[in-house]
Amino acid sequence: MAGIKDKVVVVTGASSGIGEATAVLLAEKGAKLVLGARGVDRLKTLAHRIRQSGGEVAYAVTDVRKRADLSALVGLASEKFGKLDVIFNNAGVMPVSPLKDLRVDDWDEMIDVNIKGVLYGVAAALPVFRAQGFGHFVNTASTAAHKTVPNQSVYSGTKYAVRAISEGLRQEVAEEKLRVTIISPGFTRTNFADRVTNSEVKAQLAASRDKLAMSPDSIARAVAYAIEQPADVDVAEIIVRSTAQA
């Protein structure tokens, strides 16, 4: 089925940034949204906004570090709407710092959210997609999955992993006509710097964001483009950068 109207789409990390912008755009195009994030108040606000505009939406508080939460979110999609067309594994964190800081808790969080969160989404949705005979994984990587720079080695490592997992998955499910798309955003105007615990790195990132960043709407349009393609077309990866980003 080409297009977006009436497709059921699960979005993680839906309460802000790229997830929020994508949910709003897909709802405008007629998708039925199932939203997951840790912040219930923002989820409620977003769901109300979508409903006020005539969209159909369900939501559940979701911590992608917990496999059961992803299973419940996918289950909610099937229960509410009777199918699942797309899972957008978008939740991610970026508390970057120099390795010498030894911020091991931050490393663990990036591994748990950025890698395990994607894997748990795959584990939840893949059996549903195989039973249906259709389905589309959209996984958020980063331009940091293509280029590593100082202070971002662990973050880059997690996003390289997302690309490797996604490409391997694409090859494994191709014969079943399931689709896998990697979305690799560059600097995007989100709150990613808020969780950075090294004050110097945080200030550098905030300055770069203010100078270079593009709107989350730019990434939302890329996601929509991948989803709306005919069922026999798989957009394997989209890299989206601001024109100001080297």
Closest CA to 5 of 38, 27, 37: 27
The full DSSP string for 143-169 is GGGT---TT-HHHHHHHHHHHHHHHHH
Residue 155 among the catalytic residues: yes
For 83, phi then psi, to 5°, come to -170, 175
The amino acid at residue 235 is V
Asked if 37 and 13 count as a contact pair (C-beta separation under 8 A), the reply is: yes
Asked if 201 and 98 count as a contact pair (C-beta separation under 8 A), the reply is: yes
Give the C-alpha separation, 106 to 104, whole Å: 5
Asked if 220 and 165 count as a contact pair (C-beta separation under 8 A), the reply is: no
Active-site annotation holder among 59, 155, 160, 225:
155
The amino acid at residue 55 is G
The full DSSP string for 54-86 is T-EEEEEE--TTSHHHHHHHHHHHHHHHS---E
Q: Which residues are catalytic?
A: 155
